[in-house]
């Protein structure tokens, strides 16, 4: 606590960094698409005019106590990205969207281009960032849309029973 106020939980800070990185998915940075909207834990579906769009949410946090009063946390994070299919097969669009997400999560907000150096520890806030795979999504409405549900495991260290510290 600082002056009686609790600081931001580590999980929230990590998710905020992931959301910021998803906002850098732009063709001008070398990605396959330009994301128009990025949300965190959005429950309502995106509208067609929002696409391409990204939604980021955690699904679970696990804890393992380590030596020296430290805990190893593992947070499962889902990154959902949607776009219209246009003229390409939906599977091709999904593969490009998934590639954009995986590349963007491994680039810092200061150096967001595809060609920039990888930053795969979220600016030294996590001890490991693991790409767990992705699922294809397809739907229709006014126009057919598709998406990828990309899964990551984010591992970080905290002081035992402390929700607000992170890092090695």
pLDDT in tens, 78-88: 999 999 887 88
Inside any domain, residue 164? no
Domain of residue 17: give its range: 10-159
In the chain, DSSP assigns E strands to 37-40, 53-66, 70-84, 128-139, 145-159
Q: What is the CATH number of the domain that holds 81?
A: 3.30.70.1700
> Is 37 within the bounds of a domain?
yes
pLDDT at 3 > cutoff 90: no
Q: How many domains does the chain have?
A: 1
Alpha helices in the chain, H assignment, sequence order: 10-22, 90-105
Q: Give a yes or no: residue 166 inside a domain.
A: no
Q: Count how many residues are written for the chain.
A: 168
Which one, of 107, 105, 110, lies nearest residue 131 by Cα?
Answer: 105
Cα torsion through 85, 77, 130, 74, rounded to 10: -170
Residue 4 within any structural domain of the chain? no
The answer as to whether 168 is a domain residue is no
Q: Is residue 84 part of a domain?
A: yes
Q: What is the CA 20 to chain-centroid distance, rounded?
A: 9
Look at residue 2 and tell me if it is in a domain: no
Q: Is residue 129 part of a domain?
A: yes
> 12 is written with which tokens?
């929230």
pTM score, whole prediction: 0.92
- Asked whether the bond before 52 is cis by omega within 30 degrees of 0, the reply is yes
pLDDT in tens, 103-161: 999 999 999 999 999 999 999 889 999 999 999 998 776 577 899 999 999 999 998 88
């Amino acid at each position: 606590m600082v002056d009686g106020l609790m600081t931001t939980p580590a999980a929230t800070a990590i998710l905020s960094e992931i959301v910021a990185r998803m906002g850098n998915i732009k063709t001008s940075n070398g990605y396959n698409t330009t994301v128009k909207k990025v949300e965190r834990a959005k429950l309502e579906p995106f509208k067609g005019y929002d696409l391409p769009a990204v939604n980021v949410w955690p699904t679970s946090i696990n804890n393992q106590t380590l030596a020296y009063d430290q805990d190893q946390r593992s947070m499962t994070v889902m990154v959902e990205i949607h776009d219209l299919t246009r003229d390409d097969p939906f599977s091709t669009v999904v593969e490009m969207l998934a590639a954009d997400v995986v590349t963007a999560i491994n680039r810092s907000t200061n150096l967001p281009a595809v060609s920039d150096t990888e930053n795969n520890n979220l600016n030294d806030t996590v001890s490991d960032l693991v790409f767990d795979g992705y699922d294809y999504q397809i739907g229709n409405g006014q126009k057919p849309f598709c998406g990828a549900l990309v899964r990551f495991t984010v591992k970080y260290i905290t002081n035992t029973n402390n929700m607000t510290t992170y890092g090695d």
